[in-house]
Structure 1
Amino acid sequence: MRPRAGQTGHPGEPDEPGHTLAFVESPVQLLNVLEWAHVHGQGDADARTHAPAGADLTVVVLAPTDPMTRGQLRRMADLARDEGHRVCWEEARGGTTAPFHTIGGLAGRLRRAGRVVMGDPFSRYVQLLLTITRARDLVVVDDGTATMEFVAQLAHGERLVRWHRKGGRPGPRDLLFAPVSAAARRRLTPAGGRRVEVFSSMPVNRAPDGVTLTANDFAWTRARFGPPRITKGADLVGTSLVETGVVDDGAYLDAVRTLAQTHGATRYFAHRRESTDKLHRLAGRTGLEIVRPDLPLELIARRGPIGRTVLSFPSTVVHTLPLALTGTGVRVAVCDIDPAWLTRTASPRAHGFLSSVTGTARDVHRLATVAPA
């Protein structure tokens, strides 16, 4: 019997070299694994009945501790099972010994797997697992805008580091983990018959030699959900730029208030990483209804109801929502980040990277930076 989401277990796995293991740590990563499987014909379920078909993909959830992320992951895990895929939920961060237990339990299957799919090549957990696998096929699916940075770093042979941390001095843990990170980067470089695919909805136009780029147009999402009911008003999408230390808290709240007033937004779809305290203050200052989605926003928007205009700051959704909402008439509008909003500790590359996120977005309406109300 397969363990349900929230349980730990190692269901029996086939040892065929064609078997695929996917490692995810966020709901969006799991969504994009389902999109990848749909494109590659793994677990094609009947669009009307969702009857499971195919079972050569096992999704391993390396569960985080954040309650909001865990809740969305449980919902996504159920959707993956509905598609006929195995799901193994690992309490990978459930105490000091959890990583050793998780890696030890996965080592055998990692060595047997013919293909490994990962949602976050920057994850130390995933990088460690990459040192174990013998898979000849490696696939990176989107973990948002970080995919753009990953491909650029891989192409230039740079160390793998998240964009909002780049430019800072490596800490002791970074230095200790550097050999593992370097080994993971080598594994993700095609060589000796090893194939690497990047499955992305991001504007990744230049790939390293030998890396295959496959476009993610959210075909599975559009086939399974919607079309949505469209409301007359506007909705606003939140970001975790404050939580990651990029944007000043007060500047962000002022910008949200001005944007909501200017465009008549009534709902604020919170990012799963946004703090409860910040959201409480945001609601009091703006009057917006705070919505905590139980699924990735692409699915929420596709199910509806959704505003005729969706407002966002630079983030992954300015690339993904136009694809998920193709043909619905919904307009996605993005507001630039004013350099004055950045914190003193923000990476020197932060503003340039955020501008590139906005500038490369397709099928969106670009708004001028808002002035404080």
Structure 2
Amino acid sequence: MSTRVGPEGPVPTLAFVESPVQLLNTLEWAHHRPPEALTVVVLPPADPMTRGQLRRMAELARDAGHRVRWEEARGGTGPLRTVRGLAPLLRGAPRVVVGDPFSRYVHLLLTLTRAPELVVVDDGTATMEFVGQLAAGERLVRWHRHGGRPGPRDLAFAPVTATARRRLLPGPGRTVEVFSALPLAAVPEGVRTTANEFGWTRSRFGPPRLSEGADLVGTSLVETGVVDPVRYAAAVRSLARAHGATRYFAHRRERPEKLHALAAATGLEIRRPDLPLELIARRGPIGRTVLSFPSTVVHTLPLALAGTGARVAVCDIDPEWLTAGASPRARGFLAGVTDTAREVHRLRSVCAG
């Protein structure tokens, strides 16, 4: 579909992002297409690490020629003010790109648009769960909360979520695309899928210098209540010792006290990246071996590092590491992340213990 033209020129595509990874994948989507007017609307959370990475990614988006609109959309009158300000743009946009189809904020914004094209870009491994739930007609709920009862806020927001879910399916005069680096087993009928091969990342950064030894990628599975913190620390210590890892790239949601404890127990140098790891790895230096627990990077780093000589290895989550409060879906979902990465990217498996 051609770009819509209004009285003041081309009407921009709107992209709504809440995390650095979503913004990175929006840039990858734009790079994959013919040049067009794109306005990226950043809806930052309160977390300072996420906000910092979003600001750095926003600079890269501007450097790539896109307009960036930063909206303080949370707390107080923020949501109402933001929705009122975005409504005219939403009504005129020829296409809308979203990074988090589970977000209540995105659900609310989707009720205001009649864009003939909707695009979902990766928000990590959650994309796999989203597509599966959409295909099965299930309620949209993040995998680590799967199986829990809807809370009062979920029930109050249910009509909005139901409308948004309908918008995320193809219909008369509306196409839906999923732009993803992940293997998607079940895709709803009529939804178009496009492979994200990280062409923008590889053209913009690197190739990196490879350092000897291994680097270890952190995960926020402890923070989300899925993995026991003591078990996690023991696994990190075991992997570092067995593979000669010297650096630990922290997930932006990992708590400082947890990272201090890991550094003291393992001797690892803790790095808190200011950009998504795919970009950090391409800038280098990066270890010849990159060790990771189940996470998005076991699918994205092999693409970002293609042709560099760096290898990604994956460590499964032992079921004994899971907390008593972990979702019943957690074990199968995490195993699926690593199994598909081994199948698609031929990743080596490593064990902690």
Query: What is the RMSD of the two structures over their aligned residues, measured on CA atoms?
Result: 1.3
Instruction: Please tell me whether the aligned partners of residues 290 and 313 of structure 2 are also in contact (alpha carbons under 8 angstroms).
Output: yes
3-state SS of paired residue (1:102): helix
Instruction: Please tell me whether the aligned partners of residues 228 and 301 of structure 1 are also in contact (alpha carbons under 8 angstroms).
Output: yes
Instruction: Please tell me whether the aligned partners of residues 313 and 350 of structure 2 are also in contact (alpha carbons under 8 angstroms).
Output: no
One-letter amino acid of the structure 2 residue matched with residue 32 of structure 1 = N
Number of the residue aligned with 1:27: 20
Number of the residue aligned with 1:279: 259
Number of the residue aligned with 1:37: 30
Per the alignment, do residues 38 and 14 of structure 1 end up closer, same or farther by CA in structure 2, a change over 3 Å counting?
Answer: farther
Distance 2:114 2:141 in 1: 24
Number of the residue aligned with 1:68: 49
Pick one of 167, 177, 180 that aligns with 1:187. Answer: 167
Shift of 1:19: 2.5
Gaps of 5+ in 2: 1-5
Distance 1:326 1:84 in 2: 26
Number of the residue aligned with 1:141: 121
TM-score normalized with structure 2 length:
0.96
**Higher normalized helix content (fraction of residues):** 2
3-state SS of paired residue (1:328): coil
Instruction: Report which stretch shifted further, 310-319 or 13-22.
Output: 13-22
Shift of 1:365: 2.8
Per the alignment, do residues 73 and 364 of structure 1 end up closer, same or farther by CA in structure 2, a change over 3 Å counting?
Answer: farther
Pick one of 29, 53, 70 that aligns with 1:89. Answer: 70
Number of the residue aligned with 1:288: 268
Within 5 Å, give how 1:9-24 maps onto structure 2: 19-24=12-17
Within 5 Å, give how 1:166-315 maps onto structure 2: 166-315=146-295
Distance 1:247 1:206 in 2: 27
TM-score normalized with structure 1 length:
0.91
Shift of 1:198: 0.1
- Alpha-carbon displacement from aligned partner over 1:255-314 (angstroms, at most 9, x marks no partner): 000011000000000000000111011111111000000000000000100000000000
Distance 2:90 2:7 in 1: 12
Taking only the aligned residue pairs, the percentage that are identical comes to 74
Number of the residue aligned with 1:51: none
Shift of 1:18: 5.2
Instruction: Please tell me whether the aligned partners of residues 334 and 364 of structure 1 are also in contact (alpha carbons under 8 angstroms).
Output: no
One-letter amino acid of the structure 1 residue matched with residue 62 of structure 2 = R
Number of the residue aligned with 2:338: 358
Distance 1:16 1:156 in 2: 41
Shift of 1:206: 3.3
3-state SS of paired residue (2:253): coil
3-state SS of paired residue (2:68): strand
One-letter amino acid of the structure 2 residue matched with residue 218 of structure 1 = F
Number of the residue aligned with 2:304: 324
Shift of 1:162: 0.3
Gaps of 5+ in 1: 1-12, 43-53
- Alpha-carbon displacement from aligned partner over 1:28-66 (angstroms, at most 9, x marks no partner): 000000000000123xxxxxxxxxxx5x10000001111
Per the alignment, do residues 16 and 190 of structure 1 end up closer, same or farther by CA in structure 2, a change over 3 Å counting?
Answer: farther
Per the alignment, do residues 214 and 308 of structure 1 end up closer, same or farther by CA in structure 2, a change over 3 Å counting?
Answer: same
Per the alignment, do residues 329 and 251 of structure 1 end up closer, same or farther by CA in structure 2, a change over 3 Å counting?
Answer: same
Number of the residue aligned with 1:5: none
